[in-house]
Amino acid sequence: MKRLVLTIVSIAFLMGTICAQSVKIPLIGSKAPSFTAETTNGTLTFPDDYGKKWKILFSHPQDFTPVCSSELSELAYIQKDFEKLNTKIAIISADNVIEHRRWKTWLEGLDYKGRGSQKIEFPLIDDHSHSVSIQYGMIHELASTNKDIRGVFIIDPNNVVRSINFYPMQVGRNMQEIERILVALQTADREMVCTPANWKNGDDVIVPHYPYTDDELAANPELKDSYYNLGGYMWFKKENKSLVMNDNSK
């Protein structure tokens, strides 16, 4: 009997591992998978309907759950920041659009953190069939076979996946961190730079090559106003803090 139970548990574990291994996640640098679905804002063809904007796709395990509700309330509170960053938000949850509408109405009536009612302008995508979740590798079968984990895909204006984050069911996302990654990517593209650890909008950035030789620096002392070296490859470019578009240090 003990042997039989052990065999069944081993087979179940093996099956789970095989299923988990077959999850396909669109990787950084790949084209964002396209889909058409019903949403709380009408039919959406993603990502094409958002044209040359940045896009962020968030997945949620289930409507009306407390952690997800806190996340949507936080997103609603800072949705105007994303708009200023030329970015559209879309939400997947493996429920149908009727349930999404009920959840949206309930969330809009919630006084989360004493901020009063917040309108939700971004769409909640019907994914009761899980087809979008599967395209984006949001179902991690060892965590749950029928609920999405908390996924975040940041997609650029050319519809290329630029950042992927997965969070466990139990941990609500830090929306300021998502905004920080978006601003860092936009800064990296605009200035052909990288951003150091714990970078915040307005902090100095890293130049991923030697910008000037010692001779050039000696001949052009004014360059020291823009660049400095901390040793080795660690070249930094000073950022003009007065040009910071959006204070994402809130």
Closest CB to ligand BEZ among 27 and 171?
171
**For residue 8, which amino acid is it?**
I
Closest CB to ligand BEZ among 148 and 239?
148
Beta-carbon contacts of 88 under 8 Å, excluding residues fewer than 6 positions away, are 50, 53, 54, 55, 56, 82, 122
Rounded to the nearest whole angstrom, what is the least distance from the CB of residue 65 to ligand BEZ in the complex?
A: 3
Closest CB to ligand BEZ among 169 and 205?
169
Contact window for ligand BEZ (CB under 6 A) among 51-59, 65-73, 85-93, 237-245? 65-73
Rounded to the nearest whole angstrom, what is the least distance from the CB of residue 157 to ligand BEZ in the complex?
A: 31
Q: Which of 44, 56, 57, 68 binds ligand BEZ (CB under 6 A)?
A: 68
Closest CB to ligand BEZ among 67 and 85?
67
Residues comprising the chain, all counted? 250
Query: Is the N-terminal amide bond of 47 cis, ω within 30° of 0?
Result: yes
Paired tokens of 236: 């930094």
Q: Which of 54, 55, 59, 61 binds ligand BEZ (CB under 6 A)?
A: 61
Q: In degrees to the nearest 10, what's the CA dihedral of 175, 82, 181, 159?
A: 120
The conformation of residue 207, written as its DSSP 8-state character, comes to E
Contact status: 62 vs ligand BEZ (CB under 6 A):
yes
Cα–Cα dist 33/53, whole Å: 16
Contact status: 66 vs ligand BEZ (CB under 6 A):
yes
- Name the catalytic one among 68, 124, 155, 205: 68
Convert 178-231 into a string of H (helix), E (strand) and C (coil): HHHHHHHHHHHHHHCCECCCCCCCCCCEEECCCCCCHHHHHHCHHHHHCEEECC
Beta-carbon contacts of 81 under 8 Å, excluding residues fewer than 6 positions away, are 179, 246, 248
19 catalytic residue (yes or no): no
Contact window for ligand BEZ (CB under 6 A) among 61-69, 108-116, 184-192, 227-235? 61-69
Closest CB to ligand BEZ among 62 and 226?
62
- Show contacts with ligand BEZ in window 153-172 (CB under 6 A): 169-170
Residues that bind ligand BEZ (CB under 6 A): 61-62, 65-68, 169-170
